[in-house]
Copies of this chain bind each other. A is one copy, B any other.
Amino acid sequence: MNISLDQARVIIAAALAAARAQEMRPLSVVVLDAGGHVIAFEREDGAPPGRFAVAQGKAHGAVMMGMGGRKQMARAEAQPYFMLALNGAYGGKLVPVPGGILVRDTDGQVVGAVGVSGETSDNDASIGLIGVAAAGLLGED
């Protein structure tokens, strides 16, 4: 099963609402399905143009590796060349830092991923988790 478009809209709306409430910098949020394909994306005004690829890379890496961005960062800090080689193996679509959230349904099945880019990595991740929770899904950082 995949995240539905309605759920993706809730994720993005809740994430951006939280970012505005916290007066964060302009953010970009992508929602992918369980195969790593884009369901929905929004980039706030004022964000630089390259944010789609960063958000996509965070979320795509989470789906492909089955782990969130924070776990990927820990692996990258231990073996940088390994995670960079994976970036190449996935055609550039893996960005191993917080802000990539693996998303499961309440049965524990992976249903997609969320990628947030534009703030500190920690803020990107916390905003992503807020969005996922708002849709009644489980996020792994």
Residues of A within 8 A of B (CB): 1, 4-5, 8-9, 33-45, 47-50, 52-54, 56-57, 63-66, 76-77, 79-97, 110
On whether A85 and B83 interact (CB within 8 A), knowing A37-B35, A39-B43, the answer reads: yes
Please, which residue of chain B has its CB at the minimum distance from the CB of A75? Answer: B81
B residues in contact with A86, CB < 8 Å = 53-54, 57, 95
On whether A50 and B38 interact (CB within 8 A), knowing A5-B45, A81-B84, A92-B89, the answer reads: no
Do residues A41 and B41 form an inter-chain contact, with CB atoms below 8 A? yes
On whether A52 and B38 interact (CB within 8 A), knowing A84-B84, A89-B57, A89-B93, the answer reads: yes
B residues in contact with A80, CB < 8 Å = 80-81, 84
